[in-house]
Amino acid sequence: MEVLETVKLATSAIKRNKTRSFLTMLGIIIGVFAVITLVSVGTGLKNYITEQFESIGANVLYVMPGRMGGDGEGVSFNAPPNFAGSKLKNSYVEEIKNLGEPIEDATGYIEIPGTAKYRNNQTRITIGGSSPDIINFVSLKVKDGRFFTNSEMYASRKVAVIGPEVASKLYGNMEPLEKEIIIADSRFKVVGTLESMGSGIAGGEMDRSVYIPITTAQETFDIKNLQNIMVKFTDKDQADEAKFRVKALLSRTLKEDDFSVFNQGTLLSTISSILQVLTVALGGIAAISLLVGGIGIMNIMLVSVTERTREIGIRKSVGATNGDILTQFLVESVFLSLVGGSIGVILGILGTIVVGKLISANAFSLWSIILAFGVSAFVGIIFGVAPAAKAAKLDPVEALRYE
């Protein structure tokens, strides 16, 4: 019963000063909210990037011209339009295809910035010279019409498959199929349109792309070699073996500095590690506000002890022990922290939902919620000890004399 009475006294004291109690809790509310929300930003970014990489294809190797990053693990999808120095030949694509397990498929690729026109409309585009197999490597989906065929590629036909942004800017509400599109002063026939890839890592760029047969691209732009070769293998766990076999094949005719082979799984692992550190750093920075909130609680509780000195003297004169007084003020401090922490958690969850919708990825992090709430309770105990101890040590006679 004494414990319950102490708790009632503590909560009633908080209710008597609602405004001050709320302002005291505000530091904890902001701290918990900041920890949960900032951690959710890091978690959401990590999940978002992972989803985007997986949508492109987790089991794909990229063979790029030249030495990149010093160890072949660097990344650059923007080689010069003339691919100066590239020694990646079309014949390598077929040789890689014939390697067998774990290699499933391979395709060459050329990417060139340019302009597309239709009548009085024109727009900046990215021209992708490829084989029809490209749709198996970058998750392209045809919305209307079709993709160009192998026979059209071997015959260097001037046919094109356009992204949704290109279709919208050039043709408006008209149906683009079978209409012409002018690229590099050459007339192409639109045979298909693509579904939108969204605003992901490569989605926006793909929506502005026009895909044409790689042989046509090489003739139109006078390009002999490839910008890169994409190699698909059976399972992401076989990335190292696939990479070894591709490097061994190309090393027969190319020097070590002539090409680089990497897979996006390695890149994703590196990015995930960086984002994990960033997430922890963001959480640590936000946790500082929890510390500030705890100091705020301690300051207010010390003021409260001073203001209630006479009340403490009266309680002690009627039999309250030092332990009772200590418990009362400690309960007040913990109560402020827990209520503030609970409000912060609710706001943090709402913030997480907003972050998840903004970046279109799961940003929920249970460990950040548990950690933030646990720290808020811990802060209440730690920073409530000093004021509670001060109140418990007051001499009842001196306390009763206090004005």
Q: How far apart are CA 272 and CA 82, in angstroms?
A: 34
Question: Is the per-residue pLDDT at 15 higher than 80?
Answer: no
Note the pLDDT of residue 241: 87
Instruction: Please state whether beta strands 228-233 and 180-183 pair in parallel, antiparallel, or not at all (unpaired).
Output: unpaired
Question: Is the per-residue pLDDT at 337 higher than 70?
Answer: yes
The mean pLDDT of 264-284, rounded to a whole number, is 74
Q: How far apart are CA 171 and CA 121, in angstroms?
A: 8
Higher pLDDT, 26 or 210: 210
Least-confidence region, from 23-37, 67-81, 219-233: 67-81
236-271: per-residue pLDDT in tens?
A: 777 888 888 899 999 998 888 888 888 776 666 777
Note the pLDDT of residue 71: 43
Neighbouring-strand partners of residue 182: 117, 187
The candidate with the shortest Cα–Cα distance to 29, out of 383, 372, 333, is: 372
**First-to-last CA distance in the chain?**
31
The mean pLDDT of 263-291, rounded to a whole number, is 75
User: Nearest 5°: phi and psi at 90?
Assistant: -60, -35
366-396: per-residue pLDDT in tens?
A: 877 887 878 777 877 787 777 777 777 766 6
Across the chain, mean pLDDT equals: 80
CA atoms within 13 A on the CB side of 394: 32
Note the pLDDT of residue 151: 94
Q: How far apart are CA 175 and CA 167, in angstroms?
A: 9
Q: How far apart are CA 339 and CA 350, in angstroms?
A: 17
Least-confidence region, from 60-64, 149-153, 327-331: 327-331
The candidate with the shortest Cα–Cα distance to 33, out of 43, 25, 45, is: 25
Q: How far apart are CA 161 and CA 177, in angstroms?
A: 9
Task: Give the model's confidence band at 75: pLDDT under 50 very low, under 70 low, under 90 confident, else very high.
Answer: very low
